[in-house]
Amino acid sequence: MEKEKLEGIVESIIFTNEQNGYTVFDLSADNALITAVGYIPGLAVGESVSLTGEWTSNSAYGEQFKVEYFERLTPKEEGAILLYLSSGIVKGVRESTAKKIVDVFGSDTLKIISENPKRLAEIKGISLEKAMQIHDSYINKQSVQNTVMYLQPYGVSAEFALKAHQELGSNAVEIIKDNPYILCDKIAGISFETADKIAKAMSISPLHKGRIKSGIQYVLMQCSVSLGHTYLPENELISYTSHLLGIDEFDVENQITALLSEKQLYGFDTYEGGKDYQLALFTKAEKSIADKLLSLRKVPSEKEKESLNKCIKDSEEKSGIQLSEEQKSAVKQAVFGGVTVITGGPGTGKTTIIRTIIDCLSSLDKKFSLAAPTGRAAKHMSDSCGIEAKTIHRLLEIGYLSDGGRPGFARDVDNPIEADFVIVDEVSMVDTLLMYSLLSAVAPGCGLILLGDSDQLPSVGAGSVLKDIILCDMIKCVKLTHIYRQAAESMIVLNAHKINNGEMPILNKSDNDFFFMSRTSSSQIADTILQLCSGRLSKTYGFDPMTDIQVLTPIKKSILGVYNLNSMLQEVLNPPSINKAEHRFGDSVLREGDKVMQMENNYNASWVKGDLNGTGVYNGDIGVVKKMNSHSRTILIHFDDGREVTYDFAEVRELSLAYAVTVHKGQGSEFECIVMPVFKCAPLLMTRNLFYTAVTRAKSLVVLVGDYDAIGYMVKNNSEQKRYSGLVDRLTENQ
């Protein structure tokens, strides 16, 4: 996006969050009234500001200018100064006082307030005490401004500069000059590179202690982000850090010791006699997860288990599905075992078990909440259980905390989830920090049921929580192995097992359901996928390209990414026509008849479903573009559960074409037919888990298109097992 610069006068303040300075206001610039949003604390009507940022469109409020950097132009002439002081921006000064001061000091007013405040007391009605109070209030406002202005040239946006000022106080600039690294240590969102840039500009020594300490923590953080580690072995930490900072390993070791005594870092002895080092954040998270899981455990009594026999029987009659002994015992354990993990591959009956558990909990009059890590997985859970499931973030009520405005969860230790049971699906995608937040919000005594398949996609964030819980052998895990799906003898299931064992799948056996088409270039792969989806598969198998066939790909960008495949698929599956209205926005087009997915939560959108109506469309909802109206600038979307929602053209950015989706979004859903490009992309994504997940989304047909060697690479790449995580040790120590 192109950065734009605007200058103008603040016309009115629409909203201010006093805690964090987030402000919504109208600005008159170039004879137009503009709504702008951004972090500008204490902004007042009448102020002149210069804003840098970009245009955004907000679903509920339309076009808005999002401010990243700002400059307040200090008012120079008397009228402007009077307006400025009258706005209430300086504590202790209202309109009448402002007028008195400006009458006396004219255009020197602000200079007097900041440099020679005693002179204010010359004015009748202003005591010396009040004069000093006015001075302090004005200087404090200036210090916010100074911090923002000092940090902006280094690429720190107003939002983060403000956080720095809040954290460091009115001497922020002095403190930063003394040790710029305090910025990346204390303010989430300011990077080590930014702090290092400021330090370089000030010629701070590369051996500055603050620099080395921050470097160590930065390396640990980077390794968690890019590799999923929650700690690093000593030798790796020292060598990466000394490399990054261009200093001696010995100097790094010294500061590790310092960080340990400051409790910023924790050390753990390894079995081999070495040391592992972990950021305090992850130590706390892993310790809490372990403590909570262990404390939730209960051993169900025989009497309790028997008491469920009738509920289970009723549930079986209702669904017409007979549960095996293995499944019945899983249900009993889940209902009375405090905390239970249920794992199993596709077709092993997890959905049947969740439904039965829900029936039992309902008949016991228990309150329960359902959740999953991605929007699409939550949607799938809702559909298969007939009860609303939320993303974990939504269950925890993500929002802005009152203390400083960082995003945070409203549900926590002090305000736990109001339920007797919390049931979470697709737990393999839950990372350490999210699990920590989730478990913190689970009240003592609340039942916890975790379901997942540890062979499927791991979390994007650090840790391998589900694998660790299974591995530690301290929490009751029910492992479902029997495959109930009618396709038990199909090649899809057989190949899924082969992939899991690191073997090549069997391809192209005649009369079967697992095919590979060799294509060398990206454009050949894309062309073949288009042919398959637009005709070949529906001719041969009778699949409906809109509902039965799903293209899954690992990435979003490049020729074989979601964006491009979607626009190519749109061309063949729903081509332009004079009968179909369309709407262009950004690089994309939406046309009547298109298959779309809602990509973010919109709590305000209202829907209609027959006689019913309500509000809210959520990330992962899938639908079809029914009608477009270029006069009212609206689009009607028909969602697959029957809800109809009218989108304003400005809201259309929340939608994306859904002919192709990422494998990550596909986890949790099933489709008749999967078409997947197999090609060399980012090695971190070319994993066995990803390939296994994609393949097992298919109920009756898998078609792989591309490079045979890429399949081999994915099958062999089980890099996810190489994540360093301390959770197993926390779960098993002291037991």
Partner DNA sequence: TTGACGTC
Residues that bind DNA (CB under 7 A): 14-15, 17, 20, 22, 24, 35, 37, 58, 61, 64, 225-226, 373-376, 391, 393-394, 398-400, 405, 407, 431, 434, 460-461, 554-557, 561, 600-601, 603, 618-620, 662, 664-665, 681-682, 684-685
Closer CB to DNA, residue 120 or residue 435?
435
d(CA 181, CA 203): 13
Terminal C-alpha separation, the chain: 55
Q: Which is nearer to DNA, 224 or 348 (CB)?
A: 224
In angstroms, the CA 368 to CA 446 distance is 9
Shortest distance, position 45 Cβ to DNA, whole Å: 16
Q: Which is nearer to DNA, 62 or 274 (CB)?
A: 62
**CB closer to DNA out of 35 and 142:** 35
- SS3 assignment, position 273: coil
Min CB(528)–DNA separation in Å: 22
User: Would you say 206 or 404 has its CB closer to DNA?
Assistant: 404
Residue 660 class from Cβ within 10 Å (0-12 exposed, 13-18 middle, 19+ buried)?
buried
Identify which of residues 123 and 227 has a Cβ nearer to DNA in the complex: 227
CB of 159 to DNA, least distance (A): 8
- Residue closer to DNA by CB (options 78, 412) is 412
Smallest separation (angstroms) from DNA to the CB of 22: 3
Would you say how long the chain is, in residues?
735
Residue number, 14 or 33, with CB nearest to DNA: 14
- CA–CA separation, 221 vs 259, rounded Å? 15
DSSP sequence for 532-600:
IIIIIHHHHH---TTTTEEEEES-SSSTTSHHHHHHHHHHHHS---TTS-EEEETTEEEETT-EEEE-S
Contacts of 25 (CB under 8 A, 6+ apart): 10, 11, 12, 13, 14, 35, 36, 37, 40, 43
State the minimum distance, in angstroms, from the CB of residue 160 to DNA.
11
CB of 411 to DNA, least distance (A): 13
Residue with tokens 């960082």, as numbered in its chain: 406
Shortest separation between residue 426's beta carbon and DNA, angstroms: 11
Which helix H or strand E contains 148, and what residues bound it? Answer: helix 128-151
> What single-letter DSSP state applies at residue 13?
E
Token pair in block for residue 262: 């400051």
206 vs 561, beta carbon nearer DNA: 561
**Beta carbons of 322 and 316 less than 8 angstroms apart:** yes
Cα–Cα distance, 718 to 213 (Å, whole number): 33
By the 10 Å C-beta count (0-12 exposed, 13-18 middle, 19+ buried), 302 is classed as: exposed
**Min dist. Cβ of residue 63 to DNA (A):** 11
Which CB sits closer to DNA, 64 or 356? Answer: 64
Torsion of CA 428, 431, 434, 440, to 10 degrees: 80
* Shortest Å, Cβ 405 to DNA: 6
Least Å from the CB of residue 399 to DNA = 6
